[in-house]
Structure 1
Amino acid sequence: MTINEIKTLLTQEKLPTETITQLAQDPRAGVQKLLVSYQKRQAKLASKKAAFEKRFDYERQFWAKKQVVAGVDEVGRGPLAGPVVTAAVVIDQDFDLIDVNDSKKLSAKKRCELYPKISEEAVSVAVGVKDAEVIDKVNIYEADRLAMAQAVNNLDCSVDALLVDAMDVPVALPQVKLIKGDAKSNSIAAASIVAKVFRDKLMADYAKIYPEYHFEVNAGYGTKEHLAAIRQYGPSPIHRKTFAPVSEFYQ
């Protein structure tokens, strides 16, 4: 084979051992360079798959008991504007999206690619939303808890337990609270992606109503430009009145 043909061959995810052995004996430097790159990719993929399998550990504890468990996560506790959004996701043993991980570790493009795939592969997906008015009324922590309960209650299947990213959800279900749970559980990671993409889309829609704040870029977080817009135009109806420096306008 030519080096270009071998290059194409090595783009495959898995090759027979005999093929690799034959290529290892090829004296051409270009072939050996391609083979090294292939082996590095294979090692990286194997590591990624192993980490993905590890993130099923908590789910498997419930599956072993024939129980349905949902992963729950949130996004939007820190912004000055917009709602807090939560998601609850139920997956099963057939879930195979190995790119699913803590949403903060993924690019916006990758999150958007995964969102519909998660919706398709998951047993059930639901979101919960609590707006700025609720946040100002009960505080962000309680609003977050209420949104998580809303997401769980919106699932279209019955659930026996929850895996939650370091929160306590006000529903009558057993819960395992995991610090940095989106890096430890695939169902929580899937929920973190769903919540993030859903909220980003919501803020992009708000940006069309309130374009001066550029919510499509900052998602309501207190960037330099966002703070300047608040000083220039004052808060919008979706700004959180109890969050500084927005609160300064209501004293």
Structure 2
Amino acid sequence: MRPSPSLCTRDKIKQMPDNVNPGAEKQVSAATQKLRMLRSLVCGLKYEKQARAQGATHIAGVDEVGRGSLFGPVVAAAVVLPDDCRIRGLRDSKQLEPAERERLAAIIERKALAIAIEEVDAATIDRINIYQATRLAMTTAVRRLQPGPDHLLVDALRLDVECTQTSIIYGDSLSVSIAAASVVAKVYRDRRMCELDREYPLYGLSSHKGYSTPAHLSALLRHGPTPLHRRTFRPVAEATLPWDHEEESCHSD
């Protein structure tokens, strides 16, 4: 039986809701300004048209979700849409309500010429770091596309694949293809989090999807990390209880 948390840990739990970061107001203000800026961007076909003008015929949008989560996989999607495909309301998945994402994902699945989804698990993220895990998920998703793309539109990264590509800052707010990949990846990962919530019901995964919220951090302090938490992420490492290290040491012996 796992020992009861120490008094110090209990004190931390009680203090959690009151431990406000001194810079929290500035962070909220910055986040609000960024959201307003993203909403002002126009998600269109500019980059798709540029690629087609250069001879591309199968253009894949590529994006990821879950990069900042404390739990579970990072997920990437690659989507090839038909020429001049327009989907009303499509934009960066983070700006959409869950029901709207589900609606758009269904439309994308019907219209897309090809879709591939890849996830990289928490153990691999801890082993190779989240940046490399993100690149791995994206690259694998692209390589699984059938038919294969001859040009990539990628949100802010360049990938090790043998075709031309355009890396676009805020690409999920500017390119229809990247936005489609963003929605597909987000809907897939959110569903996975709801499934995993049934396996780990103490953590509220269906609500916060593994991200760092007060409720999630409190659950980490109370119960310690699960095998699917990212141990190299600071909030998880700080919440790891002493006996977790003792158990790992015993297993290694």
Q: TM-score, normalised by structure 2?
A: 0.76
Partner residue of 2:166 out of 169, 173, 176: 176
Aligned-residue identity in percent? 46
Provide structure 2 residue ranges, at least 5 long, that are not aligned to the other structure: 1-41, 246-253
Find the aligned partners of 2:155 and 2:149 in 1 and give their Cα distance.
Answer: 17
Distance 1:154 1:180 in 2: 24
Q: Which moved more, 1:82-91 or 1:166-175?
A: 166-175
Correspondence for 1:233: 223
Higher relative contact order (CA 8 A, sep 6+): 2
Structure-2 separation of matches of 1:146 and 1:173? 16
Separation in structure 1 between the aligned mates of residue 132 and residue 83 of structure 2, nearest angstrom = 33
1:146·1:170 contact (CA, 8 Å) conserved in 2? no
Aligned to 2:26: none
Deviations 1:98-140 (A, max 9, x none): 2111111211110011111101101111111001001000000
1: CA distance between counterparts of 2:178 and 2:76? 11
Q: Based on CA coordinates, which of the two structures has the bigger radius of gyration?
A: 1
Other-structure match for 2:141: 151
* 1:246 maps to 2:249: no
Indicate if the aligned counterparts of 2:79 and 2:177 stay in contact, CA closer than 8 A.
yes
Q: Return the letter of the residue paired with 2:46.
A: D
Indicate the RMSD between aligned Cα atoms, in angstroms.
1.7
Structure 1, unpaired ranges of 5+: 1-50
Q: Does 1:75 align with 2:65?
A: yes
Task: Tell whether the 8 Å contact from 1:95 to 1:122 is kept in structure 2 after alignment.
Answer: no
Task: Describe how 1:22-171 pairs up with structure 2 within 5 A.
Answer: 51=42, 55-64=44-53, 65-93=55-83, 95-171=85-161
Size of the aligned set, in residue pairs, is: 201
Q: 2:221 is paired with a residue of what secondary structure?
A: helix
Deviates more, 1:228-237 or 1:57-66: 57-66
What is the TM-score normalised by the length of structure 1? 0.76
1:175-216 CA-to-partner distances (Å, cap 9, x unmatched) read: 111000011100000000001111000011000000000100
Runs of 4+ in 1 over 3 A off after TM superposition: none
